[in-house]
Amino acid sequence: MLSGHRGSITLTWEVTDLDGVRTFHLEWTEKDGPEVKTSRTMDSEQSC
């Protein structure tokens, strides 16, 4: 479940192969949901 009952999320993705190097691109779009709160953690400190 998401943080609320209103709004929607659209996900699109693409996998490309250029000279044997495969790349995955993900796009996440939110619409009509609650306000996004910023994180105190820097992107460089997060891991997948």
State pLDDT tens for residues 2-40.
667 788 899 999 999 999 999 999 999 988 888 777 877
* Per-position DSSP letters for 15-41, written without gaps between them: EEEETTEEEEEEEEEEES-PPPPPPSS
Task: Read off the pLDDT band of 1 (50, 70, 90).
Answer: low
pTM of structure? 0.53
What is the pLDDT at residue 15?
98
Task: Map residue 46 onto helix, strand or coil.
Answer: coil
The H or E element containing residue 11 is: strand 8-18
Question: What residue has token string 């306000």?
Answer: 35
What is the pLDDT at residue 40?
76
- pLDDT score of 43 more than 70: no
Question: Nearest Cα to 32, choosing from 6, 11, 12, 10?
Answer: 6
Task: Map residue 43 onto helix, strand or coil.
Answer: helix
